[in-house]
Amino acid sequence: MSLKWRGPYAAPCRAVKRRATPRGMSAPASPARAARLARLSGLYAIVGGAQAVAQAEAALAGGARVVQLRLKDAPSGEVLEVARRLVALAAGRALVILNDRADLAALAEADGVHVGDEDLPVAEARAVMGPDRLVGRSTRTLQDGWAALAAGADHVGFGPIFPTASKAIAAAPRGLAMLREVTEGLAAPVVAIGGIGLETIGEVAGAGAACAAVIGALFDAPDPRARAAALAAAFQAGRGR
């Protein structure tokens, strides 16, 4: 069955399809993708809601190396507009990843997309994103990580590491020991997520995580820019543990 696009985004979506990797085939590595993957490190700020752009500005000013846009309930046009603003804001400073929506990530020329259990399969997300951009996949176990990489993911998100109130997750906290098992067992960057704060982000880095994804501990602070700087510094300090 062929897909038909209609409406204001029909032409861009057809362009995405034309340059996409054929379904069922893994995209070849490219210098641009390798360069993006090499930059996947440090504080990973997840922004969303009406203040997504302001949150991103504060996180970037404080030293965030990655910004993920999570707008699950917003109309597609709004997500695309905000994503394009974040791409412009982060240019030359940080990676921009979209949650769930590979189509909008490609249209916004973001650095990548992150998909979970209810989103596109990794191979389909890769087909939309093409060979130059990143595809990340949520995982709960080392076996999940192996499966994600075999399907063509560049990196994985792993968690929750600690109890978290930011997102309802039907999984027990994994803890630092399991995080270390995953980072040592995968030949790819691991983004740790779930309940990470200023007191624990150094331990997360010491367990081998390439990035620490943070929401509440960053944006619930009175000064998110200062908190981002403190989180980024604590992560870097923990890398030598």
The residue written with tokens 């150094």 in the block is 202
At residue 170, the pLDDT reads 64
Does position 208 have pLDDT exceeding 60, yes or no?
Answer: yes
The catalytic residue among 33, 36, 65, 70 is 70
CATH class for the domain made up of 28-238: alpha beta
User: Could you report how far apart the first and last alpha carbons of the chain are, in Å?
Assistant: 53
At 28, the pLDDT band (50, 70, 90 cuts) reads low
**Is position 76 annotated as part of the catalytic site?**
no
Express each pLDDT in 77-95 by its tens digit: 999 999 999 999 999 999 9
Distant-in-sequence, close-in-space partners of 89: CB < 8 Å, separation ≥ 6: 53, 56, 57, 60
The catalytic residue among 41, 126, 137, 138 is 138
Q: Which of 38, 44, 82 lies closest to 62 in space, CA to CA? A: 44
**Is position 4 annotated as part of the catalytic site?**
no
Query: Structure pTM?
Result: 0.87
**Is position 70 annotated as part of the catalytic site?**
yes
Structural domain boundaries in the chain: 28-238
The catalytic residue among 39, 93, 167, 241 is 167
